[in-house]
Each structure stands twice: as C-alpha cells, then as structure tokens.
C-alpha cells in the first residue's frame, strides 16, 4: 500500500491534534481529506511528509517506515503545502533544478520544460519568488513536487491562490497523476473539488476519523437524503447541520 | 488619526506584554527571563552597591566632561552626524519608519486618512522602540543616576527620533527626485544640496588644516578636527548636526534647556520636511496603484531581478554540494549593490584611519598599511565571521518544513548548510592573510621571512578549522535549541529573549573552547617538541595537527546531531511576532 497510516496520534503539549488515525491509500486512488478547521488534516499531511514525528503510531510510504527508513520513504513522496515555502534568492528554474538534484531526477530538462508549460510558468523561469504572485509561487511549489516521479502525492489546499484557469489545470493534473498510478491524498475545504476528483473521502473532526468511503457510501452511512452532495453529507457527519 | 494611532500602539503594546507573560509558562522562556532579569539587576541596580563603584550622587546628570573635551566631542559628533547623513543618501534601503506592515497597508491606506496622517501614525508607532532604547542606554550609563538618567534618556530619544525621521525624509526625497514635476524635483534636491555644501565646506577646511601640520597621533587628529569643526564656516554648516549630537550630553543642569532646544528645533525642521514630502509615501511604501504584482514587487525586500551567478547546479553529485551551491547563490543575490555602497565608504574610512595611525607611529609605507589592514580583516573574519554570516541553519530553520521533506540524511543537511559559509569565510580570511604576508616585509622589516610566512601559513591552515568549529557550534545550538535561535534578520524582543541570547552566547563560547582544546593541546605538544629544532616553522605542523583534530570533531558532531535534527519540531521554532 503506497500510503499506510496506522494508529497515528500526534499531540502538541497537552493538545491532542490527531487521535489514533488509520488510513490507507492505494495506487491510483485519489483520497480527499476533509474536516472543519482544527480537525487535524494539516497535522496528518505534515506527518505523512516527514515534517512532524508521530507521537505514536506508524506511517509507511511504499512500504518504507517514515521513522526508521525516512530517506527511502521521502524519495517516493511529494508534498505540496498550502503555504508556498520558497528560497527568496533562487529562481523558479533553480528551484526545479535543486529539487531534481536532491531527488536524482534522470530526465530533468524535458520534464521541467513540460511542467513549466503545463503550469503556465513559461517566461517566469528566471524570476525570483519576490517577483511572483501568490498563485504563481503556489504553482512553483507544485512544479517542484511534480518534477520527480513520486508515487505518493500529498496536496494541502492545492487550489489556494490559483486563478480559474490554474484551478482547472490543477484539477486535470491531479486526476492525470492519479490515473497514472500515484496514490494521492488531497486536503481541501473546497468540497465540490473533492467530490469531483476524489475516488474516496475521509472526514476528520477533532483529531479523529469520523467517516471513510466513497461519496455514495458516506451518504448511505450518514442516512443522508437521496442525491445529497458532499457538503450536505459533511455537515451531517460532523453534526453541524 | 492620532487617537487611532495611539489606540493601535497601546493595544499592540498591551497584548505584546500579555503574550510575553503567557509564554513564561514554557521553561525556556522562564529560564531566559530569569537570566535576563538577573543580568539587568547585576549590571544596573546592583552596580552602585558594589564597593569601589562611585556614582554621581542623587540626581547626577549625564557624564560631566571636561569643557575642552565636551566642545571637541560635540564638534566631532557633528562631523559624524554629517557623515551618517551622507550615508543615508547613498543607500537605497527604505527607512524602517516607512516599512508599513501588511495590516497597515491593507487597512490604513484604504482608510479615509491623508498620507501625512499616515506618517504621523508611523512616528507614533515607532516611539515604543525609540523610548525603550533610550531608557536602556540611560540605565546602562554608569556615572548617571536619578533624574540625570531621565535627562540622558530624553537626549538619546531626541537623537534616535531625529535620525529615524531624517532617514524617512531622505527615502521620500529620493522617490521625489523621480517625480515628473520639476518643482517637486527641485524641492527634493534642496536638502541634498545643503548637505553637499556642508561637506564641501568641511572637507576644504580639513584639508587646509592638515596640509601644513605633522600629525603626532590620534589625539592630535582629534584636536585638529575639533579646531576645524568649531570655528568659522564649518561651525555654521555643522550647527544642526552638532546640535543633535550634543543632546545626550545636555543634562548638566544649566545646559538642559539651552542644550536640548537646538536639537528640538532641528527635530521640528526635519519632521516638517518629512511631512512636506508625504506625497511620495505611496511610491515608497509599495502602494503606487499599479497592477498587484508590481505592488508586491515593490513591497518585497528581495532584489527584483535574479542576478546571474555564473554557476549552474549540476544534476548529479553529493547532496551537500547542492546546498553549497544554494548558499553561494543566495549570498551573491543577497548582497545588494546598496550594501556595497555602504561597505566601500566604510572601507575607505577604515583604511584612512589605519593610515593615520600608521603615519603617527612612523610606519608610513603604504605596504605597511595594507599588511596591517589585511591582518586585521583576517582576524576579524575568523573570529567574528561565523557569528555574522548566518546563511546556514540559523537562517534556513525558516524553511525547515521544506528541508525535512528532502531525502537527505540529517548530517548531510547540516554539513551542506555549513559548507558555503565555511568556505567563504575561510577563503576571505586566507586571501587577507596572504596579502598581509606579502606586504609584511615592509611593515615588519625586523622579522625574518621564515617567521612571517610560517605564521601566515599556520593561520591559513588553522583558520578554516576554527571557522568550521564555530559554524558547527552555531548550528548545534540552532538544532538543540531551535526556539532560542534568531531566524535570519528576525529579532525576538523581550527580557526573556535577551536572557536566552546571553545563555546562548555563553554556551557558544564554552562549546568553542571545548571544541578547540584537543587540537590546541596537540598543536602545543608539537610546538614544545620541535620549536628548539626548527624554530617558528613548527607553527605549520602544529596548525596542521590542530586543524585535523578540529575538523574530525566537526565531522563527528554533524553526525551526532543527526537524531536531534530529525526530532526538531517545526512548532518549537520561534516565529517573528
């Protein structure tokens, strides 16, 4: 299983952010991770990316334990955070090149060129992050994540700051990567996006997983009215109706 | 608007204090606060009780200087203020007073307030910093007590406020020089014209003064400069600068009014100049009304065009070298032309002062000057370079979320982050040492060639090890105590943060001694064993032994720090308030 989270718990001091969470994401699956603010979605994604250590539990990426075999696990995953962290004195092209070097990407030049076209960054290759809008910086972060052949993709609010064309392209990109066999976990508050592109949805609330399944399965379990959309299901499951 | 500004300032200050008190619940802040309070108590309040420490008595004013010296100090202070004013025009950096926060830009620029009112708001908001600094200086001033401290604080506050407002006015005037209106450009040029006239008058008179005299030493230079600055036209043109420079010393009872009034007058004129230039606020603050991207470009503190570094990162090789390349690229791009504009005049001043000192001590040859300056530069860069050059984990902890996703061993990340600054400081110091050694024959003719070059080679060999050890110590503290490390240019404030910095400074010094000790012992043993046989040439093998041992220690430390790096919690890193 490309992503296997087993009994993951994370605390910040006395605050329990994620409580005994278990999720699996298979190859080719696009799983949406949704929940109200403070539900523990970002903590989960950061732990999956190797940024935060679990307080307890185990996370494996393509069978590699993120705690004991971190380098092998990290080579296989790409994390696209909601806040674009870029080095202020490296250009767009240099960010891609640095990523390619660190991840030993074999055919960097054609990949980078294709990505730059795909994400509409053409003409910005020599630009510094300070010259770019927030949406553009977000695209650079996504390009750095996609320039390597990661088998696990983690997106945290991937559409933040993107323009309508960028949003459409990003949706297409995520779906194409999923069809290409990548295991994808997408955290977003845009429920229509999750409903549209995800094959499965995990709902978290107050650090716990409260629902897991396809939209139809969730609707059935939540006893939602026929034809309910994800937003209605979400409100019902989290008791915020 | 003044009421609103005062409200913002009051609420911000109140909440800042509340946040600082709340964070004392964390042991690191509590320990820092205890150390900070203890430091304050021991250096300020307990000082007067120590035997042998005398204070000025009740209500003592600022340091009472001998009349002749006080006159000279004010005159020289005026010269210094003139030089600083010129430097402000040379720089292109924006004044901190015009550094509107994101919230201010979003909320106040769109509010129905004039740009002049915005400037008044910024002046009010900056008062906490200026007042805090003034009080701190007054508290630390040894011979001053009681109401004298208040008078000194007022004097220092006037100086700081005038400098701050002057720099803001310079920033606005520079923007107004680009105006399409000829009258605006002309008005913007007036202060600069006055400054240039003052400079011309002062320089002409200094040259005339020094033309026919033989300078006996630094004291003599002071006397001649005082004579120039306190008479004739130079005295007239330097009056505003000297008035401000004299303000902190205006506490001696009779001088309070007569000493502060001229400074207040200068402050009023400078403030009027700032407010009259308010039409340029939008251009300087990045609110020119162009497309959003242009606004963000102006607001960004990084250069707007990527300067070519002439080095493309190869796609294969050790990961440490990728970080080495990153460090080099960031430094090349981060060193602005503006920094060079400041550095070059500073270098000229240093060389000039050194020349004067060398001239006074009879070493007139330019070679001697070069040798001494380069030797000093090498020493300063080896001892203080690692403290100043923070382009390692001390800066990149800001990007920890990104670094931790990279498939690199922790030791590789640490070594990679250190690699460029170590190489740069070492190369700079080595180049300075070689230059110093090349010219040392003229500077130190009585020292044998072999001795001079043995010392130079020993420093070149030992320097990089010492530099590496210092960077290792700084990165070790960053990893072990990430919450106590300043990230980049950020500066956490508060008495607890000051205490933390004191603890860190002590920890760095102790660690550095521990690092250097085994190598120093090995080098010492070699020196004792071989000095009688080969003379000072033994410095070279002793330095080699020192370097090998210290570098092995550095490698070991980077490996041992791996688990600690893996455990750093991004939430433990101090974020700017």
* DSSP structure string for A105-158: -TTHHHHHHHHHHHTT-TT-TT--GGGS-HHHHHHHHHHHHHSS--SEEEEEST
DSSP H or E stretch at residue B341: helix B337-360
Three-state secondary-structure class, residue A101: helix
pLDDT at B265 over 90: yes
pLDDT at A12 over 80: yes
Q: Which residues of A touch B402 (CB under 8 A)?
A: 85
- Partner residues linked to B212 by β-bridges: none
Q: Do A89 and B409 count as a contact with CB atoms less than 8 A apart?
A: no
Q: CA B198, CA B78: separation in Å to the nearest integer?
A: 11
Distance from CA of B327 to the nearest CA of A (A): 10
pLDDT score recorded for residue B300: 46
User: Which of B319, B399, B401 comes nearest A87 by C-beta?
Assistant: B399
pLDDT score recorded for residue B488: 61
Q: Do A130 and B330 count as a contact with CB atoms less than 8 A apart?
A: no
Distance from CA of B345 to the nearest CA of A (A): 26
Q: CA B513, CA B508: separation in Å to the nearest integer?
A: 9
**Which of B12-21, B400-409, B461-470 has the least mean pLDDT?**
B12-21
Distance from CA of A198 to the nearest CA of B (A): 24
CA distances (Å), origin B459, targets B70, B75, B124, B464: 43, 42, 51, 9
Across B558-575, average pLDDT: 80
Task: Please provide the size of chain A in residues.
Answer: 241
Question: Is residue A130 within 8 Å of B304, Cβ to Cβ?
Answer: yes
pLDDT at A42 over 70: yes
pLDDT at B371 over 90: no
Instruction: Mention every residue, 6+ apart, whose C-beta is less than 8 A from residue B540.
Output: B454, B457, B458, B461
Q: CA A52, CA A221: separation in Å to the nearest integer?
A: 33
pLDDT score recorded for residue A47: 93
Q: Do B334 and A98 count as a contact with CB atoms less than 8 A apart?
A: no
Q: Do B316 and A101 count as a contact with CB atoms less than 8 A apart?
A: yes
* Structure tokens belonging to residue B435: 């230059």
Q: Which residues of B touch A89 (CB under 8 A)?
A: 302-303, 306, 329-330, 333-334
B300 at interface of A, judged by CB pairs closer than 8 A:
yes
- Partner residues linked to A209 by β-bridges: A204
The closest alpha carbon to A48, from A99, A10, A88, belongs to A10
Q: Which residues of B touch A96 (CB under 8 A)?
A: none
Distance from CA of A159 to the nearest CA of B (A): 19
The closest alpha carbon to A32, from A149, A159, A221, A141, belongs to A159
Question: Is residue B455 within 8 Å of B543, Cβ to Cβ?
Answer: no
Confidence of residue B574 (pLDDT cuts 50, 70, 90): low
pLDDT score recorded for residue B40: 75
pLDDT at B48 over 60: no
Q: CA B53, CA B506: separation in Å to the nearest integer?
A: 26
Q: Do A53 and B329 count as a contact with CB atoms less than 8 A apart?
A: no
Confidence of residue A153 (pLDDT cuts 50, 70, 90): very high
The closest alpha carbon to A8, from A54, A43, A46, belongs to A54
- CA-based nearest residue in chain A for residue B412: A102
Question: Is residue B473 within 8 Å of B515, Cβ to Cβ?
Answer: yes
Question: Is residue A23 within 8 Å of A31, Cβ to Cβ?
Answer: yes
Across A145-173, average pLDDT: 90
Q: Do A46 and B401 count as a contact with CB atoms less than 8 A apart?
A: yes
Q: Which of residues B284 and B381 earns the better pLDDT score?
A: B381
SS3 labels along B451-474: HHHHHHHHHHHHHHHHHHHHHHHH
Q: CA B60, CA B141: separation in Å to the nearest integer?
A: 11
Instruction: Mention every residue, 6+ apart, whose C-beta is less than 8 A from residue B64.
Output: B56, B143, B252
B563 at interface of A, judged by CB pairs closer than 8 A:
no
CA distances (Å), origin A152, targets A41, A119, B186: 17, 20, 63
- CA-based nearest residue in chain B for residue A91: B306
User: Which of B306, B400, B409 comes nearest A91 by C-beta?
Assistant: B306
Q: CA B383, CA B430: separation in Å to the nearest integer?
A: 13
Across A180-201, average pLDDT: 94
Q: Do A89 and B333 count as a contact with CB atoms less than 8 A apart?
A: yes
Summarised one tens digit per residue, pLDDT across range B150-196 is 888 888 899 999 999 999 999 888 888 888 888 888 888 898 899 89
Summarised one tens digit per residue, pLDDT across range B542-553 is 999 999 999 999
pLDDT score recorded for residue B359: 60
Residue from B304, B315, B316, B323 whose CB has the most chain A CBs within 10 Å, to mutate: B315
Confidence of residue B356 (pLDDT cuts 50, 70, 90): low
Residue B219's Cβ-count burial label (10 Å; 0-12, 13-18, 19+) is: exposed
Q: Which residues of A touch B296 (CB under 8 A)?
A: 130, 133
Q: CA B527, CA B454: separation in Å to the nearest integer?
A: 13
- CA-based nearest residue in chain A for residue B404: A51
Confidence of residue B129 (pLDDT cuts 50, 70, 90): confident
Q: Give me the interface pTM, i.e. the ipTM.
A: 0.87
Summarised one tens digit per residue, pLDDT across range B297-326 is 444 445 556 777 788 899 998 999 999 999
Q: Do A51 and B296 count as a contact with CB atoms less than 8 A apart?
A: no
Q: Which residues of A touch B406 (CB under 8 A)?
A: 74, 102
**Tokens 């903590």 belong to which residue?**
A43
User: Which of A53, A102, A128 comes nearest B407 by C-beta?
Assistant: A102
Q: CA A210, CA A43: separation in Å to the nearest integer?
A: 16
User: Which of A72, A85, A87 comes nearest B326 by C-beta?
Assistant: A87
User: Which of A72, A88, A102 comes nearest B406 by C-beta?
Assistant: A102
Across B321-340, average pLDDT: 82
Confidence of residue A75 (pLDDT cuts 50, 70, 90): very high
Q: Give the strand pairing for A183-187 and A200-205.
A: unpaired
Q: Which of residues B482 and B1 earns the better pLDDT score?
A: B482
Distance from CA of B349 to the nearest CA of A (A): 31
The closest alpha carbon to B508, from B414, B392, B384, belongs to B384
Question: Is residue A2 within 8 Å of A25, Cβ to Cβ?
Answer: yes
pLDDT at B253 over 70: no
DSSP string for A158-185 = TTTT--HHHHHHHHHHHHHHHHTT-EEE
Alpha helices in B389-494 (DSSP H): 393-396, 400-403, 410-438, 440-443, 449-480
pLDDT at B148 over 90: no
Residue from A50, A73, A131 whose CB has the most chain B CBs within 10 Å, to mutate: A131
Q: Which of residues B101 and B362 earns the better pLDDT score?
A: B101
Confidence of residue B577 (pLDDT cuts 50, 70, 90): very low
CA distances (Å), origin B59, targets B80, B149, B393: 30, 8, 48
Q: Which of residues A236 and B4 earns the better pLDDT score?
A: A236
pLDDT at B387 over 70: yes
Across B318-337, average pLDDT: 87
Q: CA B547, CA B162: separation in Å to the nearest integer?
A: 50
Q: CA B6, CA B365: separation in Å to the nearest integer?
A: 59
- CA-based nearest residue in chain B for residue A52: B569
Across B139-151, average pLDDT: 71
Instruction: Mention every residue, 6+ apart, whose C-beta is less than 8 A from residue B219.
Output: none
**Which of A129-133, B75-79, B377-381, B457-461 has the least mean pLDDT?**
B75-79
CA distances (Å), origin B554, targets B135, B411, B419, B523: 42, 11, 12, 17
Q: Do A70 and B566 count as a contact with CB atoms less than 8 A apart?
A: yes
pLDDT score recorded for residue B206: 84
pLDDT score recorded for residue B489: 56
Direct distance between the N- and C-terminal alpha carbons of chain B, in angstroms, rounded to an integer: 25
Instruction: Mention every residue, 6+ apart, whose C-beta is less than 8 A from residue A122.
Output: A116
Across A221-233, average pLDDT: 82
Q: Taking all residues of chain B, what is their mean pLDDT, rounded to a whole number?
A: 80
For B:140-159, CB contacts with A below 8 A are none
Cα dihedral value A2, A5, A11, A12, nearest 10: 10
Confidence of residue B441 (pLDDT cuts 50, 70, 90): confident
Q: Give the strand pairing for A200-205 and A208-213.
A: antiparallel
Q: Which residues of A touch B566 (CB under 8 A)?
A: 53, 70
pLDDT at A100 over 90: yes
CA distances (Å), origin B467, targets B135, B415, B477, B566: 37, 13, 16, 25
pLDDT at A204 over 90: yes
Residue from A130, A138, A161 whose CB has the most chain B CBs within 10 Å, to mutate: A130
- CA-based nearest residue in chain A for residue B315: A101
**Tokens 């960031």 belong to which residue?**
B330
Q: Which of residues B100 and B459 earns the better pLDDT score?
A: B459
Q: Do A74 and B400 count as a contact with CB atoms less than 8 A apart?
A: no
Chain A / chain B CB contacts < 8 angstroms? 100
The closest alpha carbon to B231, from B200, B205, B263, belongs to B205
Quick one: angle between helices B146-176 and B182-211, nearest 10? 120
pLDDT score recorded for residue B292: 37
Three-state secondary-structure class, residue B247: helix
pLDDT at B446 over 70: yes
Q: CA B399, CA A81: separation in Å to the nearest integer?
A: 12
The closest alpha carbon to B369, from B391, B402, B347, belongs to B347
pLDDT score recorded for residue B289: 42
Q: Which of residues B265 and B487 earns the better pLDDT score?
A: B265
Q: Do B404 and A50 count as a contact with CB atoms less than 8 A apart?
A: yes
Instruction: Mention every residue, 6+ apart, whose C-beta is less than 8 A from residue B124.
Output: B2, B5, B6, B9
Q: Do A128 and B304 count as a contact with CB atoms less than 8 A apart?
A: yes
Across B480-503, average pLDDT: 68
Residue A24's Cβ-count burial label (10 Å; 0-12, 13-18, 19+) is: middle
Q: Give the strand pairing for A15-25 and A64-65.
A: unpaired
Instruction: Mention every residue, 6+ apart, whose C-beta is less than 8 A from residue B494.
Output: B20, B33
Confidence of residue B115 (pLDDT cuts 50, 70, 90): confident
B105 at interface of A, judged by CB pairs closer than 8 A:
no
């Amino acid at each position: 299983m490309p992503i296997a989270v087993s009994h993951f718990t994370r605390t910040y001091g006395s605050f329990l952010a994620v409580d005994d969470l278990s999720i699996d994401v298979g190859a080719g699956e696009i799983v949406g991770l949704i929940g109200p603010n403070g539900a523990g979605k970002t903590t989960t994604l950061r732990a999956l990316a190797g940024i935060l250590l679990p307080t307890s539990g185990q996370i494996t990426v393509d069978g590699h334990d993120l705690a004991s075999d971190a380098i092998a696990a990290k080579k296989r995953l790409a994390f696209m955070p909601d806040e674009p962290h870029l080095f202020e004195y490296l250009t767009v092209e240099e960010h891609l090149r640095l990523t390619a070097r660190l991840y030993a990407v074999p055919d960097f030049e054609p990949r980078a060129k294709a990505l730059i076209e795909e994400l509409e960054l053409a003409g910005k290759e020599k630009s510094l992050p300070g010259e770019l809008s927030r949406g553009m910086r977000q695209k650079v972060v996504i390009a750095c994540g996609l320039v390597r052949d990661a088998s696990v993709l983690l997106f945290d609010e991937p559409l933040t700051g993107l323009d309508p064309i960028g949003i459409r392209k990003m949706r297409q990109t995520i779906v194409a990567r999923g069809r290409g066999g990548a295991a994808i976990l997408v955290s977003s508050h845009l429920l229509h996006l999750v409903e549209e592109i995800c094959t499965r949805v995990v709902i978290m609330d107050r650090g716990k997983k409260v629902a897991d399944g396809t939209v139809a399965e969730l609707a059935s379990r939540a006893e939602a009215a026929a034809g309910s959309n994800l937003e209605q299901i979400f409100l019902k499951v989290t008791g915020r109706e | 608007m003044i009421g609103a500004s005062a409200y913002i300032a009051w609420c911000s200050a109140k909440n800042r204090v509340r946040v600082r008190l709340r964070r004392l619940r964390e042991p690191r802040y509590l320990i820092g606060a205890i150390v900070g309070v203890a430091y304050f108590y021991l250096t300020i309040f307990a000082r007067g009780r120590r035997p042998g420490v005398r204070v000025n008595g009740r209500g003592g004013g600022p340091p009472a200087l001998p009349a002749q010296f006080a006159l000279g100090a004010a005159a020289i202070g005026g010269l210094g203020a003139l030089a600083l004013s010129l430097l402000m025009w040379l720089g292109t950096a924006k004044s901190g007073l015009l550094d509107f926060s994101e919230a201010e830009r979003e909320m106040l620029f769109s509010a129905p307030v004039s740009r002049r009112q915005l400037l008044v708001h910024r002046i009010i908001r900056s008062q906490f910093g200026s007042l805090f600094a003034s009080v701190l200086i007054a508290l630390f001033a040894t011979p001053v007590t009681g109401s004298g401290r208040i008078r000194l604080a007022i004097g220092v506050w006037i100086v700081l406020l005038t400098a701050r407002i002057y720099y803001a006015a310079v920033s606005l005037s520079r923007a107004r020089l680009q105006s399409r209106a000829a009258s605006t450009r002309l008005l913007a040029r007036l202060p600069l014209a006055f400054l240039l006239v003052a400079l011309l008058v002062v320089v002409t008179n200094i040259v005339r003064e020094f033309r026919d005299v033989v300078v006996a030493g630094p004291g003599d230079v002071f006397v001649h400069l005082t004579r120039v600055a306190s008479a004739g036209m130079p005295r007239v043109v330097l009056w505003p600068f000297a008035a401000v420079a004299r303000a902190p010393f205006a506490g001696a009872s009779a001088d309070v009014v007569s000493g502060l009034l001229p400074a207040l007058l200068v402050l009023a004129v400078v403030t009027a100049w700032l407010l009259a230039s308010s039409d340029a606020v939008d251009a300087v603050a990045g609110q020119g009304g162009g497309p959003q991207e242009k606004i963000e470009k102006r607001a960004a503190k990084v250069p707007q065009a990527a300067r070519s570094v002439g080095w493309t990162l190869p796609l294969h090789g050790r990961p440490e070298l990728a970080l080495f390349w990153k460090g080099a690229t960031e430094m090349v791009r981060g060193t602005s032309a503006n920094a060079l504009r400041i550095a070059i005049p500073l270098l000229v001043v240093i060389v000039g002062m050194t020349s004067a000192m060398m001239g006074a001590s009879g070493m007139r040859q330019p070679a001697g000057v070069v040798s001494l300056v380069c030797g000093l530069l090498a020493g300063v860069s080896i001892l203080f370079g690692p403290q100043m050059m923070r382009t390692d984990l001390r800066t990149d902890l800001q990007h920890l979320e990104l670094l931790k996703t990279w498939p690199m061993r922790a030791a590789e990340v640490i070594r990679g982050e250190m690699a460029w600054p170590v190489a740069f400081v070492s190369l700079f110091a080595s180049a300075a040492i070689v230059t110093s050694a090349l010219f040392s024959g003229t500077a130190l003719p009585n020292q044998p060639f072999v001795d001079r070059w043995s010392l130079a080679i020993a420093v070149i060999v030992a320097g990089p090890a010492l530099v590496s050890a210092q960077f290792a110590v700084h990165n070790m503290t960053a990893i072990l105590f990430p919450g106590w490390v300043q990230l980049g240019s950020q500066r956490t404030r508060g008495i607890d943060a000051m205490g933390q910095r004191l603890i860190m400074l002590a920890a760095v010094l102790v660690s550095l001694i521990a690092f250097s000790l085994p190598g120093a012992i090995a080098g010492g043993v070699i020196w004792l064993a071989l000095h009688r046989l080969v003379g000072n040439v033994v410095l070279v093998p002793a330095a080699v032994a020192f370097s090998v041992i210290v570098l092995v220690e550095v490698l070991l430390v980077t490996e041992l720090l791996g688990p600690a790096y893996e455990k750093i919690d991004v939430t433990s890193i101090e974020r700017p308030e």
